[in-house]
Amino acid sequence: MAQAFPPEFGEAWNRRQVSDALLLAGTHYALITPGGIVGPGPHDDVAGFSLSRGLFDEEELLLFAIAPSWRRRGLGHALLALFIDDCRQRGKKRLFLEMRRNNSAGILYAAHGFRPIGIRPRYYRMSNGDRVDAITQELVID
């Protein structure tokens, strides 16, 4: 978490936020190893993670990250594909996420079928006080 989210964006959760989220019904997470093995773990080495929460037939991807030293090797693709497949198997029909405007993650999300459906103006507050829009993205599963 600490490595994955640049501090200036203030997107990282603290330990308490994560542990509280994991206690809530409907929270799901996955870890990915540098070798591309995906699952809840335990794993000796972790290169990235996802955390989501579902309600009825919808799921929101809350956190998604690959550690900087393991980026651009396809791990983001692999973890996102697993997330979508896992949601499909759990009967989810609509997946959502919020993304900082101009985050390069948008290219990855688009490649997996996510589409922008809304803007939350000035949603993120950066460490320098600037505000950045959030783009809400949706993937409808057939």
Which residues are near ligand COA by CB under 6 A?
A: 4-5, 64-66, 71-77, 97, 99, 103-105, 107-108
Name the H helices within the chain.
Answer: 15-23, 75-89, 105-111
Place of tokens 């829009």: 133
Outline where DSSP puts E strands in the chain.
Answer: 27-32, 38-39, 48-55, 58-66, 94-100, 115-125, 131-140
Q: Least separation, in Å, of the C-beta of 135 and ligand COA?
A: 9
Q: Least separation, in Å, of the C-beta of 90 and ligand COA?
A: 21
- The Cα 16–Cα 39 span in angstroms is 22
Among residues 68 and 91, whose Cβ is nearest to ligand COA? 68
Among residues 91 and 119, whose Cβ is nearest to ligand COA? 119
Q: Least separation, in Å, of the C-beta of 40 and ligand COA?
A: 19
Among residues 91 and 117, whose Cβ is nearest to ligand COA? 117
Q: Least separation, in Å, of the C-beta of 131 and ligand COA?
A: 17
Among residues 91 and 125, whose Cβ is nearest to ligand COA? 125
Among residues 95 and 97, whose Cβ is nearest to ligand COA? 97
Are 16 and 9 in contact, with CB atoms under 8 Å apart? no
Give the residue at shortest CB distance from ligand COA: 76
Q: Is 68 helix (H, G, I), strand (E, B) or coil?
A: helix
Q: Least separation, in Å, of the C-beta of 4 and ligand COA?
A: 5
Q: Is 55 helix (H, G, I), strand (E, B) or coil?
A: strand
- Cα 14–chain centre separation: 15
